[in-house]
Amino acid sequence: MATLTTAASAAGLEHEVVAWDDPSVDWARFACCVVRSTWNYHDDRAAFLGWCARVDRVSRLENSRDLLTWNTDKHYLKEAASFGLPVVPTTFVGPDESPGDWRGVVASLLAAGDVVVKPAVSAGSNDTERHRQVDSAVVQIEDLLRRGKSVMLQPYLAEVDAHGETGLVFVDGRFSHAFGKGAILADVKTMTGDLYAEADISARSADEAQLRIGERAMEWLTRRFGTPLYARVDLLPSAAGPVIIELELTEPSLYLSLGDAAAERLVTAVRSRL
């Protein structure tokens, strides 16, 4: 956040960092409200979306309310896959589904490798776990379902252990920079303040195949919602090539310090929307 606020100050753009769930904030004071580090929205998505609706009535919300609503539930991956984007194979399990509907999926995934279990509404890798045994996966799935959460089942792509994850950052619809992230689930996951999982981050150059996927995703999102102020396309390596693990449009760390003049580009984009 400091990288962005420093760039905003240098550009003479008045700004203030406030919490979305602070009831004392008068959101009408701001010409534009840029959502950034809302790491706790998944604890009460309905409250967060209610906040989005209130802010949208009195200020310009970036990213847009429609985009935030869509992106805060990872069922959007089904739509992305239907469009033809390469997405990590994902099975969704709802709270009303019987064990017979998903136990076979878990067994099938584990027969080929490890399985990743996580809620469809989550941020910062909260409640995201890798399993090597059916029993442990079932325990987590049943716990999430009891809590009324929809669950995602995905194969663990072992290629990430060697090559890590690649994040492509876009500002105002254009590619800005890329970064590499170590495999969070390769070993014991470490959480920071119960908000997000720690990861090894470094600058990285995206290859042609990765950029092609990122640009296709941005073209699709722009047709669907208009140009996002910011976006992050997270890719995992697989035997078939890079695949999308998430489209981060709500609270992504943009690692602006890793991109040459990236913070300045974002400030310019914000100013252009005022």
For 44-57, how does the pLDDT look when each residue is reduced to its tens digit (9 = 90+)?
A: 999 999 999 999 99
For 69-97, how does the pLDDT look when each residue is reduced to its tens digit (9 = 90+)?
A: 999 999 999 999 999 999 999 999 999 88
Tell me whether strands 174-181 and 165-171 are parallel, antiparallel or unpaired: antiparallel
Cα distances (Å, whole numbers) of residue 264 to 9, 11, 118 = 10, 8, 35
Q: Cα–Cα distance between 14 and 103 in angstroms, integer?
A: 53
Q: What is the DSSP letter of 180?
A: E
Taking CA 141 as the corner, what is the angle to CA 68 and CA 89, rounded to the nearest 5 degrees? 60
| Residue-level pLDDT at 192 | 44
**What's the CATH number for 159-259?**
3.30.470.20
Q: What does the DSSP assignment read for 252-268?
A: ----GGGSTTHHHHHHH
Tell me whether strands 191-192 and 174-181 are parallel, antiparallel or unpaired: unpaired
- The full set of domain ranges for the chain reads 91-155, 159-259
Taking CA 59 as the corner, what is the angle to CA 45 and CA 69, rounded to the nearest 5 degrees? 25
| Strands of the 115-119 sheet, one edge to the other | 91-93, 151-155, 115-119, 129-131
Residue ranges for the chain with pLDDT beneath 70: 184-199
Q: What does the DSSP assignment read for 199-264?
A: --EEEE---HHHHHHHHHHHHHHHHHHS--SEEEEEEE--TTS-EEEEEE-SS----GGGSTTHHH
| Residue-level pLDDT at 196 | 44
Q: What does the DSSP assignment read for 135-148?
A: HHHHHHHHHHHHTT
Q: Cα–Cα distance between 3 and 263 in angstroms, integer?
A: 7
- Residue in the block written with tokens 């994850």: 165
Question: What size, in residues, is the chain?
Answer: 274
- Backbone dihedral region for residue 63 (phi beyond 0: left; psi -120 to 50: alpha; all else: beta): beta
Architecture of domain 91-155: 2-Layer Sandwich (3.30)
Taking CA 189 as the corner, what is the angle to CA 184 and CA 190, rounded to the nearest 5 degrees? 115
Q: What is the DSSP letter of 41?
A: G
